[in-house]
Amino acid sequence: MPAELIDRVIAIIASTQKIPAESIKPESTFPELKIDSLDAINIIFALENEFNINIPDDAAKDVSTVRDLTDGIAQLIAGGDAAIAAR
């Protein structure tokens, strides 16, 4: 997965949560970043707008790390049906 994609996802999370991008790592979990379910919805909307994709609700709820989210976005961009799968 391209580092540029990870950087874009991290930048969106940082922007929506108003936290420093440097504090977000691919292995970071949403609880570690103090992201609750409402925050996660806002992040999903921002990612959908940024990448012009549709992240299925049932798949999004199973994401546990920033890397999981980025992997799923990469699959959606590539046109993969699996999208964001449970990890």
pLDDT value, residue 59? 80
Nearest to 60 by CA among 42, 34, 77, 78: 42
Instruction: Give the pair of three-digit tokens for residue 44.
Output: 């999903």
| Torsion 25-66-48-77 (CA) sign | positive
Decide if pLDDT at 4 tops 90: yes
Q: In the structure, what pLDDT confidence band is assigned to residue 80 with cuts at 50, 70 and 90?
A: low
Decide if pLDDT at 5 tops 90: yes
User: What's the mean pLDDT in 35-43?
Assistant: 93
Q: In the structure, what pLDDT confidence band is assigned to residue 86 with cuts at 50, 70 and 90?
A: very low
User: What's the mean pLDDT in 49-60?
Assistant: 89
Decide if pLDDT at 87 tops 60: no
User: Hey, what domains does the chain have and what are their CATH numbers?
Assistant: 3-17+28-78 (1.10.1200.10)
